[in-house]
A and B are shown apart, each in its own frame.
Chain A
Amino acid sequence: MRIAGKPVPQPSAREGEKPLSLWELAWRVVWMTVQLTLVFWLAQRGAFFFYQGF
């Protein structure tokens, strides 16, 4: 949206926030997938050990 030729900052855009490059997005998604794969792999082996809270 533009008013008087100037773009109106969107409420979601934080100051100095760079747009995500496709490459950065891809590697972050891959890293999350690796972590989740390990979580589920260990879960299948009965790995869940529960934090004993206070």
Chain B
Amino acid sequence: MSEATIDLVGGQFWIALALGIVLLTPLRHPGLRRWVFAAVNVAFLVLLLKVSPLVVGASLLITFGLLKGVEQRGGGVFLWVLGVAITVLFLIHKRPDLGRLLPVQVNPILAAVSFSYVALRLVELLRAVSQKQHPAPHIAEMINYLIPFHMLPAGPIQSYQDFRAAPSVPAALSMRSALEGTERIVLGLFKKYVLAYLIQRTFLTGFHSEGLYFVLEMQLFYLWLFLDFTAYSDIAVGAGRLMGIETPENFDRPLSARNMIQFWERWHISLSLFIRRNLFIPIQLGLQRRISIHPLWIASVAFAVSFLLCGLWHQLSWSFLAWGGFHAIGLILCNLYANYLKKQLKRSGVKEYLQSRRARVLATFLTYQWVAFSLVLIAYPWNGGGA
């Protein structure tokens, strides 16, 4: 957890949202909507980064040109250029010491746009275009997919497939939709600036605590992160609803997940699906074709590689690598245990086990503790500093 992302207290986000609602709500022409939303997204970046619109425009045009090249040449040199550019920018973003070697300081820009998320969207887009699943998008579409201003702070990472499938003209904004959208935004603000803030101020010490208080802090840190992170998601979903831009839900009651597989189906859902699409399944299929070992072992390797990389995506550090590894162990154990239960209890026994209230309470408790401990790995002041 290193860089500050988009400041919701700053006016840019709210100006862009107001513009988006006022300009998009009456528009029923798909092409015009696309361009207007793209203009709002670019205007937001210009306001946020305080750079010339020419710089933003040129960066987007270069990306668009490279994507077109990937489409026309079926990959080749353009795919390599874009792939290397994403990797280099990602490394600079995660290791500011590398960025300092450059003549132009790009770190503040990469941090401001939360490049981790933009990079994943670019990967999705590159994969779709290079594998000919979809044609290269129209430039306005590319802008709206890569840098939707309301999803920049903390996702979600919409899949390119879902983005393409979204209706180009949404249903007219009803009174109920407007109310629900506003409620989500207000709830997000309340969760972030009241609930999460009070927990942080009242209880959290950055894990400088000891004994029983450390255990309590572990529980509350997880709750704090949940409130803070889901707050961004609430604001993004609410903003999307008000503007008529499809914005996927990113959380589904993760605190009550009863195992680690279920946890990842409920926490940061868009990242979890990205990992499944782009890491887990390709690794699993690749290994199945090459090695003849038990599918459970193959799945275990796929979990391990996917979640170690997931840890490094969050931050290039030993603590995040350990966090990813700890989650991978949880997922592997869960998968092995599920397989064991199926063999031992058969279908009716498994059904009974899943319905058992005692088993559910214990499993939910253990899952909560597993996740809470994993967060200690990344937030504990290993070098004596703050979390």
Residues of chain A having any CB pair with chain B under 8 Å:
10-14, 17, 20, 25, 28, 32, 35-36, 38-39, 42-43, 47-54
Within B282-334, which residues are at the interface with A (CB < 8 Å)?
313-315
- Which chain B residue has the least Cβ–Cβ distance from A52? B1
Cα A28 to Cα B158 in complex, Å, equals 30
Most chain A Cβ neighbours within 10 Å, of B182, B193, B196, B197: B193
Partner of B183, one of A20, A28, A48, A49: A28
CB distance from B194 to the nearest CB of A (A): 5
Cα A35 to Cα B194 in complex, Å, equals 8
How many residues of B are counted as interface, with CB atoms below 8 angstroms from the partner's CB atoms?
A: 39
Cα A50 to Cα B196 in complex, Å, equals 10
A32: B residues at CB distance < 8 A: 182-183, 186
Say whether A54 contacts B315, CB under 8 Å: yes
Given A11-B172, A52-B3, the answer on whether A39 and B228 have CB atoms closer than 8 Å is no
Q: Which of B37-45, B173-181, B208-216 contacts A (4 or more CB under 8 A)?
A: B173-181
Say whether A54 contacts B116, CB under 8 Å: yes
Q: B2 within 8 Å of A by Cβ?
A: yes
Say whether A39 contacts B194, CB under 8 Å: yes
Given A53-B5, A54-B1, the answer on whether A35 and B190 have CB atoms closer than 8 Å is yes
CB distance from A9 to the nearest CB of B (A): 11
Say whether A35 contacts B192, CB under 8 Å: no
Cα A47 to Cα B190 in complex, Å, equals 12
Q: B7 within 8 Å of A by Cβ?
A: yes
Residues of chain B having any CB pair with chain A under 8 Å:
1-5, 7, 9, 114, 116, 153-154, 171-177, 179, 182-183, 186-187, 189-190, 192-194, 196-197, 200-201, 228-229, 231-232, 313-315
The secondary structure that dominates the B interface is: helix
Enumerate 20 A-B pairs (CB-CB under 8 Å) in ascending A order: A12-B171, A12-B172, A17-B176, A28-B179, A35-B190, A36-B186, A36-B189, A43-B9, A47-B193, A47-B197, A47-B201, A48-B9, A49-B196, A49-B197, A51-B229, A53-B1, A53-B3, A53-B4, A53-B5, A53-B114
Say whether A12 contacts B193, CB under 8 Å: no
CB distance from A23 to the nearest CB of B (A): 14
A17: B residues at CB distance < 8 A: 174, 176
Say whether A10 contacts B172, CB under 8 Å: yes
Say whether A49 contacts B200, CB under 8 Å: yes
Say whether B314 contacts A51, CB under 8 Å: no
Cα A53 to Cα B153 in complex, Å, equals 8
